[in-house]
Structure 1
């Protein structure tokens, strides 16, 4: 038996950090949505009681360091599953890019293994397990558009935002999330995104208000540490993007564009500067809603 599950990338429309919690995590408030740049996770039932993982990208780990592997491990241990699985990840989302590629793979593995192993778990139960793997996994289990709070595990579902094109560009650098958060100083001069305005923009499908409300409290930190990220943002704005923001802790920056005529111009400008450029659409809704 084989199951194939889509694992879409996420972008942050807002990312706000409120304070550092006693457990070492930051209390966050984020509006996230999915785009149709996606990995595909193939799960094949094995008679032997083992987890095998392979990936189309050779540098992705194939053991418990991999979030999808960890998802299978957690389900096996928690529900005493004696069957095995071969996990194959077709990688399309760039790695360590601020797009939750590894978290989305883990979420896809949880949803797929729930069917493959006949566990009968709800999405809420899968999201709870996913929170043990990473802060973005619960959101990725549900997909769609959501307000995430706590350390990212508390999810409030939202309606889809106004449809548009998304051009994503990742410079050839790795960004340490720990370093970015380590250099973050929350004080009176910190530029916090206006989450309430973003929620209003989504509710009313107001594209212009959505673009004006984009904000990421980590962006200034990453831009100061990595000048290439700042150059991409400036190039997108100069090329006519309606809204531009860094996703997560970076280094990927995305542009929102409503008119298709602008897409090629921005794409061409970016391709002269960086290799990893992707054109996608906002999904905004869950995979179940797309298939309905």
Structure 2
């Protein structure tokens, strides 16, 4: 019986700009994504029946065909006429519905794992092309690293990322944010401040974390923070604890801060744990989906 275990990593955004909207409703973006060393563990066992069974330690995710992981299995089964099934256990560590691509990352891990278990021999690029059918973030999550994402998020240019000794404090408040509502609330004609992605890419190349932190911009934050004041409050705590910069990731509600000094990040974590449960200090990572062992 074939089985495999994989690490499925989260991402943060160092910038998000929204340039326009396509006729199909998708928004055109230009953003810098960075994988971090916070990951779910995906364990998969091949089944001789055609069943797709999903289990998890988390009650916050669906375990049926509403889960993107189920859709990922189905996609490969149909595309390659596979007559076997799989049992998947998702050990959730990435906060759910957080703007950190947790679901996309899980789907990415399933594609990588089944490619191995079912001997499909697809290249990373072929897997990314298939992954795009599941969501705009899935191709990025397969490879991870740091990338400038354009188009709807699927056109990836890999760039130098944060150094792995950068300390990242992450706090997910107990809020639900609808990505759809955030994008709908964005007035494209009146965006006051946009990220200078060329400058951010150069700062990353120069290893200048201070410059990166001070120039991060997420245009979606203006919308989300209007509904949820807590986002600004969390950023303020991080900045009080000497974060070089702090910003919301994705459409929220997760907030992260970049720190030069690990003790400052840990101090920020202690403060935030007085009010929030999902608080982490992590490093950046140059890996996406990783097969364990």
Q: What TM-score do the two structures reach when normalised by structure 1?
A: 0.96
Q: CA deviation at 1:74?
A: 0.2
Pair 1:197-2:199 in alignment: yes
- Mapped to 2, the partners of 1:99 and 1:37 lie a distance apart of 10
Q: Does the CA-based 8 Å contact 2:51-2:86 persist in structure 1?
A: yes
Counterpart position of 2:142: 141
Counterpart position of 2:250: 248
Q: CA deviation at 1:129?
A: 1.2
Counterpart position of 2:117: 116
> In terms of mean alpha carbon deviation, does 246-255 or 279-288 score higher?
279-288
Q: Does the CA-based 8 Å contact 1:29-1:148 persist in structure 2?
A: yes
SS in 2 for 1:187: helix
Deviation by residue 1:101-151 (Cα, 9 ceiling, x = unmatched)? 000000000001100100011111111111111111110011111111111
Counterpart position of 1:153: 154
Q: CA deviation at 1:213?
A: 2.3
| Matched ranges for 1:15-54 at <5 A | 15-54=16-55
Counterpart position of 2:183: 181
- Mapped to 1, the partners of 2:124 and 2:30 lie a distance apart of 21
Q: CA deviation at 1:58?
A: 2.0
Q: Does the CA-based 8 Å contact 1:160-1:285 persist in structure 2?
A: no
For residues 80 and 205 of structure 1, do their structure 2 counterparts lie closer, same or farther at Cα, with a shift above 3 Å needed?
same
For residues 61 and 286 of structure 1, do their structure 2 counterparts lie closer, same or farther at Cα, with a shift above 3 Å needed?
closer
Where structure 1 has 5 or more consecutive residues not aligned to the other structure, the ranges are none
Where structure 2 has 5 or more consecutive residues not aligned to the other structure, the ranges are none
Q: CA deviation at 1:221?
A: 0.8
- Mapped to 2, the partners of 1:190 and 1:177 lie a distance apart of 20
> In terms of mean alpha carbon deviation, does 56-65 or 90-99 score higher?
56-65
Counterpart position of 1:171: 173
Pair 1:9-2:1 in alignment: no
Q: CA deviation at 1:162?
A: 2.6
Deviation by residue 1:214-249 (Cα, 9 ceiling, x = unmatched)? 110101111111111121111111221111110000
For residues 96 and 286 of structure 1, do their structure 2 counterparts lie closer, same or farther at Cα, with a shift above 3 Å needed?
closer
Q: What TM-score do the two structures reach when normalised by structure 2?
A: 0.95
Q: CA deviation at 1:188?
A: 4.6
Q: Does the CA-based 8 Å contact 2:26-2:152 persist in structure 1?
A: yes
